[in-house]
Chains A and B, each alone.
Chain A
């Protein structure tokens, strides 16, 4: 079955530590995205990547870093510079724009990782 996996489901971090969230997809999608979700604030885009070895900052990139060494993988590192990292993190992917239907252009989401800073 094709899909997006995120690990771990729950993650606890001490203040001052960096932590890396995993995101893997086997949908053969070109684009991948990281969102942060806080209660009542919807989804906010952290970083996105259109192709391997390229990525762009989203609306709230400060304190985060990403890499895109493989098409299937887009890990997110939450650094100690992120002031309020406790949140639910969602990874998504989408096919490129050669798709011809709305479903092909949609973003598909992983199950999320809940990060708690102790």
Chain B
């Protein structure tokens, strides 16, 4: 099976860039995802990257994928207090695909981002 690892905490000052890192053990993922969870809420899909891409930019978000090192990162430019949340990376697995109609994801444990005003 696949492990997806993230550091648990990150603290940055408002206006700085945040970089949240994720490593995974299985390179068969086709898509990798970043989710955001605000306190007491569900997970919100932020962005995703296809495994044949190295980088994807979406407004303040930049996703970098290094397949050789099995490393995924999410950079948030000009971090705001509203970005304070837990961020999860998740990947699909060829091995976890259980047939038509289902698509299992493996999630990291989440990185809690705290933005200091």
Contacts and interface: CB of A to CB of B under 8 A. Distances in A.
Interface of A: 4, 6, 30-31, 40-43, 45, 48-51, 56, 90, 92, 94, 96-97, 102-103, 105-112, 114
Given A42-B88, A42-B108, A105 B103 contact: yes
Contact of A90 (B43, B45, B48): B43
B72 to A, nearest CB: 13
A108 B33 CA distance: 12
Interface residues of B, number: 29
A91 B95 CA distance: 22
A48 B49 CA distance: 24
Given A102-B48, A112-B41, A114-B40, A107 B101 contact: no
A108 B44 CA distance: 7
Interface of B: 8, 31, 33, 35, 40-45, 48-50, 88, 90, 92, 97-105, 107-110
A105 B31 contact: yes
Contacts of A106: 31, 33, 45, 48
Nearest to A99: B103
A30 B103 CA distance: 10
- Pick the most buried of B97, B102, B108: most chain A CB atoms within 10 A of its CB: B102
Contacts of B102: 30-31, 48-50, 56, 94, 96-97
A56 B103 CA distance: 12
- Pick the most buried of A4, A30, A43: most chain B CB atoms within 10 A of its CB: A43
A111 B88 CA distance: 16
Nearest to B44: A109
29 contacts: A6-B42, A30-B102, A31-B102, A40-B8, A40-B109, A42-B88, A42-B108, A42-B110, A43-B43, A51-B101, A56-B98, A90-B42, A97-B100, A97-B101, A97-B102, A102-B48, A102-B50, A103-B48, A105-B92, A106-B48, A107-B45, A107-B90, A107-B103, A108-B45, A109-B43, A111-B41, A112-B40, A112-B41, A114-B40
